[in-house]
Amino acid sequence: MAEDTPLHFKTIAEIAELIESKQMSPVELTTYMLDRIAALDGRLKSYATLMADSALSAAKAAEREIQGGSYRGALHGVPIAVKDLCFTAGVRTMGGTKVLADHVPNFDATVVKKLQAAGAVLLGKLNLTEGAMAGYHPDFDIPVNPWSSEHWSGASSSGSGVATAAGLCFGSLGSDTGGSIRFPAAACGVVGLKPTWGRVSRYGVLALAESLDHVGPLTRSSADAGIMLQAIAGLDPDDPTSLPNPVPDMAEGVDRGVRGVRIGVDEQYITHDVDPELAEAVLSGVRALEHQGAEVVEVHMPEMESFLSAWPVLCSAEAVAAHQATYPSRREEYGPWFRDWLDLGAGVTGAAYAKANNQRAACNGRLRQIFESIDVLACPSMPTPPFPVASSGLSESLDDGLDMSLLRFTAPSDFNGAPTISVPCGLNGEGLPLSLQFVGKHLEEKLLCRIGHAYEQATEWHAVHPPV
């Protein structure tokens, strides 16, 4: 453990060690984090709803259990937060939308229940774009990137990325439909783990597009991502799409290294129309793992542009289904960006949806062939460092609609449901974070955490924090 790391920037694994050995009290730690949120979040705007009273109650309960010799594991007594899509009984869940501003669920999402069962302390709910798409509702706060207030904080799970990067929680939950675990991880310089589709229950999580939605952790280390995934993964009788496959012990063997792991690299894919500093950082990250014994395998990615046009068709049409209780009946209460998105979906015909679904299936087939010869694929998490934004929280290009080239490294694994991990891999000349993504085979999250951990042992980027 790095002794000089400030308490709020320690990893879950480090904090767990302090709590289990009784060097740190969950109540003391939770109070410290609530004070830090009070001091900083007025500027950073990562929290939609702070749950201070229930957090302190949970911390006291955790403290009693641990003092009594009943330690549940690495999340016991650790303060975390969840994206405000996850239902919390008795606490509003708004999904960034004005139509749900008064929505108070009477039950907890399965992921929230599982985190509570692991003994985690829930600090609160994190801000996001409206409906988890690209734009914010004008009446809602926009999370501020802690590296630079003038740059993008990563779209939908932006509050999760900001809070985790700024040390306002030790880990968080986000969701990913087109890249919204990976974008905030990349923009805010943290680790984002998008699990296999179905690995984590979506019961009690507000949907954007159900066939594309994934729930997963944002943390400050790959091992921590494994710890959080371990807690939330597994079959859920309330979600028929959740997978019955056993969840492995994610911490076991995380430090085994990467000798013999086959990493697929397509240099053209990594570098074409990609920011040059970012492309070089990604290739440098691959070389660092090659020096540790990984085998680099040359692959040739299919041309993605023709497949990506399917994503807005599928996502917008499914968003209309997800919002049928309030759209179109309360259409005018939606903000302009998401209202336009729902209008787009309302115009999708059955034939257009079928055509897009066929494009998705073709893309999945091409990617299956690539993975025959590799264990993981290396690529950027997004094509650029975080870009400058206007007061709307969007770049001018996103203000005018969705630039699908932004999703070219993320949407394919939402199409096929494959797991991915994004890890910080440098800072550019402006001091903004750069991010390296590994895409794995289905249910291989444990290997992804191992690869991320090996990369972190060879570099220092995970330990570089924003100047908050």
Tell me if residue 156 is catalytic. yes
> What residues pair up with 176 in beta bridges, in sequence order?
214
Distance CA 351, CA 342 (A): 18
Q: How far, in Å, CA of 390 to CA of 399, rounded?
A: 9
* Residue 355 annotated in active site: no
User: Residue-wise over 171-208: b if at least 16 C-beta within 10 A, else e?
Assistant: bbbbbbbbbbbbbbbbbbbbbbbbbbbbbbbbbbbbbb
Of 25, 46, 148, 156, the catalytic one is 156
Q: Where are the alpha helices (DSSP H) in 371-427?
A: 396-399, 411-415
CA angle 116, 156, 100 (to 5 degrees): 70
DSSP letters along 300-324, please?
-PPP-HHHHTHHHHHHHHHHHHHTT
Q: Let me know: does 133 contact 156? Beta carbons within 8 Å.
A: yes
Name the active-site residue from 45, 83, 114, 125. Answer: 83
| DSSP letter for each residue of 36-85 | HHHHHHHHH--EEEE-HHHHHHHHHHHHHHHHTT----TTTT-EEEEETT
Phi, then psi, of 411 in degrees rounded to 5: -60, -35
Of 180, 222, 316, 381, the active-site residue reads 180
CA distance 428 to 172: 25
- Please list the active-site residues: 83, 156, 180
